[in-house]
Amino acid sequence: MSRSVLVTGGNRGIGLAVARAFAARGDAVAVTHRGSGVPDGLLAIRCDVTDPAQVDRAFTEAEEAHGPVEIVVANAGITDDRLALRTRDGEFHRVLDTNLAGAFRTARRAAQSMLVNRRGRMIFVSSVAGLRGSPGQTSYAASKAGLVGLARSLARELAPCGVTANVVAPGLVETDMTGELSERRREEILREVPLRRTAAPGEIAAAVVWLASEEAGYVTGAVVPVDGGLGMGH
C-alpha cells in the first residue's frame, strides 16, 4: 500500500537516498529542498526548516498531493565545525536551530494529522557524534544528542495515539557533508570504525525504511546505530 512520506533535506545525500528507498517500494514521497530542485519521481517542496511557516506550508503541500503525511523523516542538517572556544553564540544557535529546532518544528506539524488518524512514524536522523561526542563539533553533537531526548519524549507522548518516534544514528557516510573533512580527519575516524569503511547513504536509508515498516510496529524510542560499530557502547 502506498503511504504518504515527507523527507526534509531530501534533495541530496542521505535524505535523497531515503526518499528514493521509499519511492522504490511504491510510496508517495515529498522531499523538501531549498531551491536546488529534486530528481524526477519525487514531489519537490521548497522549505527551510528554520522557518515554522515554511514547515507548515510544506506539510500542506504534501497533504494536498499525497494525503496526510504518515511517515516523516527529519533529516535536514548542517555542521559548523570549530573548536568550542572559537564558537560564537550565533554559530552555535544556527546549528541548533536547523538540526534540533528544525526537527522539532517538523515533528510538531507532522503530529497534527498523525494524532487525528491515530497512526504515524517519525524518524529522526541523528549522528554517532551526538552519542559519543566529537572534538570540534560541540554545536553539532549537542544538536544530535538533543534529537534523542526529543524523539524519546515524543515516543512517550504519542504512543497512546499509535505514533512511533525513533532515531537513526549514522557514522561516517559518503555525502557532501563528509566531503568537507580533511583526509587526515577521515583516516583518524576510520581507524576507530571496526568495519574500517564509510557507509553508503543507502545503508542509512535501509534502517529508516525498516523503522517505518509494519515489522517495526513495536519499536519506539529506539536509537538505531548504523555506524560500522564506531559508537558501540554509547
Binding site for ligand NAP (CB under 6 A): 8-9, 11-15, 32-34, 36, 47-50, 75-78, 98, 102, 125, 127, 170, 172-173, 175-178
Nine cell digits for residue 50: 528554520
DSSP character at residue 230: T
Q: In whole angstroms, how close is the CB of 117 to ligand NAP at the nearest point?
A: 25
Between 87 and 134, whose beta carbon lies closer to ligand NAP? 134
Q: In whole angstroms, how close is the CB of 50 to ligand NAP at the nearest point?
A: 5
Q: In whole angstroms, how close is the CB of 202 to ligand NAP at the nearest point?
A: 12
Between 14 and 62, whose beta carbon lies closer to ligand NAP? 14
Q: In whole angstroms, how close is the CB of 191 to ligand NAP at the nearest point?
A: 16
Q: How many CB atoms lie within 10 A of CB 112?
A: 14
Nine cell digits for residue 153: 519524549
From the list 16, 132, 140, 173, the catalytic residue is: 140
- State yes or no: is 140 an active-site residue: yes
Pairing, β 43-46 against β 71-74: unpaired
Pairing, β 223-226 against β 163-170: parallel
Between 27 and 227, whose beta carbon lies closer to ligand NAP? 227
Between 182 and 218, whose beta carbon lies closer to ligand NAP? 182
Between 111 and 193, whose beta carbon lies closer to ligand NAP? 193
Closest C-alpha among 233, 104, 124, 219 to residue 170 = 124
Evaluate the CA torsion angle 108, 114, 118, 121 in order and state its sign: negative
Pairing, β 120-125 against β 28-33: unpaired
Nine cell digits for residue 64: 494536498
Q: In whole angstroms, how close is the CB of 58 to ligand NAP at the nearest point?
A: 9
> Which residues fall within 8 angstroms of residue 119, CB to CB, at 6 or more apart?
70, 162, 163
90 φ, ψ (degrees, to nearest 5): -60, -35
Question: Which residues are part of the catalytic machinery?
Answer: 140
